[in-house]
Amino acid sequence: MAKQTGICVDQILSGVRVKPMTETKLSEKEILIRVRQGDRQAYQGIVKSYMQTAYYIALGFVHNQQDALDISQDAFVRAFRKIKQYDPEQRFFPWFYRLLKNLCLDHIKKCKRRAEVPLDDVQLFKEDKDNQELKELAWKGIEQLPFEQREVIILRYFRQYTYEEIAEMTGKPMGTVMSSLFYAKKKLRDILKKYWYSE
């Protein structure tokens, strides 16, 4: 691999964000009120809206396709069972995200060895034909980050959430989110540099 003079994490990382429900007769709040009343059919609309986003977030954490699918599905089941605890005055996904995150954390604790997912299946880079070695290096780096730093990288670059949205989802002040992202990128840059120059 050709040696580079510098590594810009912002240029390496990118993401594709799945938009939540856009066109519907009922607002998400109204749908979730029905779900709280036990309407399973209404809940299917919520699941369809967020399933892909949940899957890719889980995939970023656990790095295994089948595990990510299982975890994201389990998160929706648990969310339905706990829906009475959800406040319909608040946005659904930040509440749901905390359930998903906890399941991912539990899985990571239980599974020290995880099978790798084909890197082309994860929409991490701007171009589908980006250098395969670069993808592998990026994943090596991301997997070495502490969980909280990996979390902000995934939410910011995999899913392109704003700082405000990440703060809402994680329950942390926006300044803390921005600081975590800064140090996550710095550490990732150092990790990538180590791999880059060891070739």
Average pLDDT over residues 3-29: 54
Domain ranges of the chain: 1-16+123-199, 21-119
Distance set, CA 5 to CA 8, 126, 196 (Å): 10, 21, 10
- In CATH, the architecture of 21-119 is Orthogonal Bundle (1.10)
Q: Look at residue 1 in the predicted model and tell me its pLDDT.
A: 44
Average pLDDT over residues 109-124: 51
Residue with tokens 């995939």: 59
Q: If you average pLDDT over every residue of the chain, what do you get?
A: 79
Distance set, CA 23 to CA 20, 26, 49, 92, 164 (Å): 10, 9, 11, 17, 24
pLDDT tens figures, 52-84: 999 999 998 988 899 999 999 999 999 999 999
Q: Look at residue 15 in the predicted model and tell me its pLDDT.
A: 41
pLDDT tens figures, 151-183: 999 899 888 899 999 999 999 999 999 999 999
Average pLDDT over residues 38-62: 92
Are 91 and 168 in contact by the 8 Å Cβ rule? The answer is yes
**Domain 1-16+123-199 class, CATH top level:** mainly alpha
Sorting pLDDT into bands at 50, 70 and 90, what band is 26? confident
Determine how many CB atoms are found less than 10 A away from the CB of residue 44: 12
62's tokens: 């656990």
Sorting pLDDT into bands at 50, 70 and 90, what band is 146? confident
Q: Is 71 helix (H, G, I), strand (E, B) or coil?
A: helix
Which of 21-30, 112-121, 134-143, 169-178 bottoms out in mean pLDDT, i.e. has the lowest? 112-121
Rounded CA-CA distance 140/154 in Å is: 14
On the question of a common fold for 1-16+123-199 and 21-119, the answer reads no
